[in-house]
Structure 1
Amino acid sequence: MRAVARFKQDKAYALAIFNKYTRNTDHELAEHTYRRQVDLVPRKPYVEDEGLQPLIDSLVDARPQLKGRRPSEFYDNRIIKRLDDSGYIDGLYK
């Protein structure tokens, strides 16, 4: 979560990391990528049923035992909730 906060708050650093690990030298590409991604990455990384259901649905043919299973059976947001309730996540953005 600290890395996400840094990514969202320190564009120059995020671009430098992107360029380093992708070996990118195209500044416009880095800028474009950052602009497209910065709002897609959530501050609070809760798993949501809506995001997981399509994955489960796509696997049913290969794994029939997944038919009828609910996404909430496969994740646990308690740790994120504790961090959120404690103010830790919001504190990263102050």
Structure 2
Amino acid sequence: MARRIAQSSVNWIAISKRVPEAKKAAYLAFKAKSDEYLRKMFALSSEASKIEWAKYKNAIPIAGLVENFEKQYNALKIPYPEDKYTAFIDSSEKKTI
């Protein structure tokens, strides 16, 4: 199953040193917005929410419609891309340190 790999890799301290005093307020607003988006992303579940098929079967009077959607949904398989680069990046990082 899919795993969450996103993380903040922004060096905010280094960026803040380069921001002119006149632009500090805009920088801080941008950083706050970025931090808020990151918090929201981490608050989400890494798993897709489950569909309550029984609820839709009771609510939709057309016979077989929900069953057909459920069958198609369960048959749908979207491959998750294989991670080919993390090991290479980690080994390259160890060589440079």
TM range (shorter): 0.3 to 0.5
Q: Between Structure 1 and Structure 2, whose CA radius of gyration is higher?
A: 2
Higher helix content, 1 or 2: 1
The alignment's TM-score, normalised by the length of structure 1, stands at 0.34
The alignment's TM-score, normalised by the length of structure 2, stands at 0.34
